[in-house]
């Protein structure tokens, strides 16, 4: 696939800058200008903070294949689950800021996890590159569950506080924190059970190990709904979802503030990533966003019509911090 004009122009400009630097004796000590201008010249690691088989993994692999074609270098997707995203993020921030270690990130991994736990990083320790997908959450039960509706489920939760168990993809993910808000702001208590992503949560629900899941409503989950294995009770979006039209929103269920448990999947590098590298990656991500193969694999409903880049991802992270810091900050 040919590079977009912006990417070619950026690379041409970088080549000119490199030539000028070489003629002028190079940059300052420790400068990576020359390396940035040649970027990329070797394989790229793309970390995923959750296990294989879930929506983050699917999104990373779809985009990774397109980035590989666009950048002309191998992109190796590496799953590093654990710590509500902290394991992969710690690996990311420890890497050299040269563009050869990147990660799929979410507001949960970069904002909520460090607010709720001492993990040694904040959102300011990464460089935002752009948004890949946005996935709302769905509260669902198994096909044999006694709860036929959100009304049934929440009535049971009110009657016996803490008895119902709800799987979430990590204790300090948006889903986990929204269940905390459910208790603190609405007096409805369920027990959150953290797992490492959709695949583990699905196994737990189908095996009868939890009563429900508050899970990303990605294609793997909607497939289970279509197959009759999951029964959707409510969705986290402000309005009903076109692909789950019969599932009411949590707003309709009496919880008007609980609209933040969806996930924005972004791409980021370590803090200090050279602007030239960010430009190349942002443009390559833009091309991937418009790649029909990516749209088909990730799902058209999860990819915005208009590409949103580094500035937009940063706004998502900053906005999430603003909402949740009063609740989770010390």
Which CATH number characterizes residue 75's domain?
A: 3.40.190.150
Is the domain of 125 the same as that of 270? yes
Which residue has 């889903």 as its token pair?
175
Burial of 55 (0-12, 13-18, 19+ CB in 10 A): buried
Mean pLDDT (whole number) for 313-320? 94
108 and 174 Cβ atoms separated by less than 8 Å: yes
Number of domains in the chain: 2
Closest C-alpha to 135, from 237, 244, 262: 262
* % of the chain beyond a pLDDT of 70: 88
Is the domain of 128 the same as that of 268? yes
In a domain, 248, yes or no: no
- pLDDT per residue as tens digits for the range 129-149: 999 999 899 999 999 999 999
Is the domain of 57 the same as that of 123? yes
> Which of these ranges, 9-18, 30-39, 117-126, 273-282, has the smallest mean pLDDT?
9-18
Is the domain of 215 the same as that of 107? no
pLDDT band at residue 15 using 50, 70 and 90 as cut-offs: very low
Is the domain of 129 the same as that of 147? no
Residue 183 CA to residue 162 CA, distance in Å, equals 10
Is the domain of 124 the same as that of 146? no
In a domain, 243, yes or no: no
Contacts of 82 (CB under 8 A, 6+ apart): 88, 196
Average pLDDT, the chain: 87
pLDDT reported for residue 17? 33
Q: How far apart are the first and last CA of the chain?
A: 49
* Residue 65 structure tokens: 């294949």
Is the domain of 148 the same as that of 123? no
More confident residue, 13 or 295: 295
User: In DSSP terms, which residues pair with 214 in a beta bridge?
Assistant: 139
In a domain, 251, yes or no: no
Domain boundary among 235, 250, 273: 235
Q: In terms of DSSP bridges, do strands 263-270 and 101-105 run parallel, antiparallel, or are they unpaired?
A: antiparallel
The answer on pLDDT for 1 being more than 80 is no
pLDDT reported for residue 30? 36
In a domain, 128, yes or no: yes
Q: What are the CA-CA distances from residue 23 to residues 20, 60, 275 (Å)?
A: 5, 40, 22
Which residue has 């970390």 as its token pair?
47
- Helix (H) / strand (E) containing 128: strand 126-135
Residue 268 CA to residue 135 CA, distance in Å, equals 18
In a domain, 250, yes or no: no
- pLDDT per residue as tens digits for the range 297-308: 999 989 988 999
More confident residue, 36 or 10: 36
Residue 190 CA to residue 162 CA, distance in Å, equals 4
Mean pLDDT (whole number) for 159-182? 91
SS3 119: coil
- pLDDT per residue as tens digits for the range 35-93: 667 899 999 999 999 888 888 899 999 999 999 999 999 999 999 998 888 999 999 99
Q: What is the number of other CB atoms lying within 10 angstroms of the CB of residue 258?
A: 22
Q: What are the CA-CA distances from residue 64 to residues 19, 132, 189, 299, 322 (Å)?
A: 30, 11, 40, 15, 31
Is the domain of 29 the same as that of 89? yes
83: left (phi over 0), alpha (psi -120 to 50) or beta: left
The answer on pLDDT for 259 being more than 80 is yes
More confident residue, 101 or 176: 101
The answer on pLDDT for 200 being more than 50 is yes
Mean pLDDT (whole number) for 20-40? 51
Phi, psi dihedral angles at 255 (to 5 degrees) = -125, 75
Is the domain of 12 the same as that of 116? yes
**CA gyration radius, the chain:** 21
Domain boundary among 218, 235, 252: 235
Mean pLDDT (whole number) for 25-33? 40
In a domain, 323, yes or no: yes
Is the domain of 220 the same as that of 199? yes
Is the domain of 172 the same as that of 187? yes
Domain boundary among 235, 252, 287: 235
In a domain, 23, yes or no: yes
Residue ranges of alpha helices (H) inside the chain are 5-23, 33-38, 55-71, 86-94, 107, 113-116, 150-159, 174-186, 198-206, 219-226, 275-289, 292-298, 310-328
In a domain, 246, yes or no: no
* Residue 256 structure tokens: 């008007």
pLDDT reported for residue 216? 86
pLDDT reported for residue 329? 64
What CATH number corresponds to the domain at position 187? Answer: 3.40.190.10
Is the domain of 290 the same as that of 318? yes
pLDDT band at residue 199 using 50, 70 and 90 as cut-offs: confident
223 and 204 Cβ atoms separated by less than 8 Å: no
Q: What is the number of other CB atoms lying within 10 angstroms of the CB of residue 42?
A: 11
Containing domain of residue 155, as a range?
137-235
Q: What are the CA-CA distances from residue 264 to residues 16, 106, 134, 146, 261 (Å)?
A: 36, 6, 4, 32, 10
């Amino acid at each position: 696939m040919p590079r977009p004009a912006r990417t070619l122009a950026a690379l041409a400009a970088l080549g000119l800058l490199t030539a000028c630097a070489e003629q002028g004796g190079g940059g300052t000590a420790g400068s990576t200008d020359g390396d940035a201008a040649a970027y990329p010249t070797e394989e790229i690691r793309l970390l995923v903070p959750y296990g294989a088989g879930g929506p983050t993994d699917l999104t990373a692999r779809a985009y990774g294949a397109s980035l590989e074609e666009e950048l002309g270098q191998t992109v190796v997707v590496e799953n590093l689950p654990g710590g509500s995203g902290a394991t992969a993020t710690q690996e990311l921030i420890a890497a050299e800021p040269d563009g050869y270690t990147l990660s799929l990130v979410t507001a949960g991994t970069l904002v909520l996890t460090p607010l709720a736990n001492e993990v040694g990083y904040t959102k300011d320790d990464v460089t935002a590159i752009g948004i890949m997908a946005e996935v709302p959450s769905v509260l669902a039960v198994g096909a044999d569950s006694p709860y036929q509706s959100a009304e049934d489920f929440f009535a049971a939760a009110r009657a016996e506080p803490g008895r119902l168990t709800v799987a979430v993809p990590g204790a300090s993910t948006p889903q986990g924190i929204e269940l905390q808000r459910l208790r603190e702001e609405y007096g409805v208590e369920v027990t959150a059970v953290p797992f490492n992503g959709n695949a583990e949560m699905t196994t737990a629900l189908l095996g009868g190990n939890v009563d429900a899941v508050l899970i990303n409503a990605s294609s793997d989950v909607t497939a289970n709904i279509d197959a009759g294995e999951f029964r959707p009770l409510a969705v986290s979006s402000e309005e009903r979802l076109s692909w789950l039209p019969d599932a009411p929103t949590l707003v309709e269920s009496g919880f008007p503030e609980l609209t933040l448990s969806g996930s924005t999947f972004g791409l980021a590098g370590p803090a200090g990533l050279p602007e030239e590298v960010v430009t190349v990656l942002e443009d390559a991500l833009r091309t991937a966003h418009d790649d029909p193969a990516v749209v088909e694999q990730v799902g058209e409903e999860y990819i915005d019509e208009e590409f949103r880049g580094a500035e937009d991802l940063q706004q998502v992270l900053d906005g999430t911090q603003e909402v949740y810091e009063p609740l989770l900050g010390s």
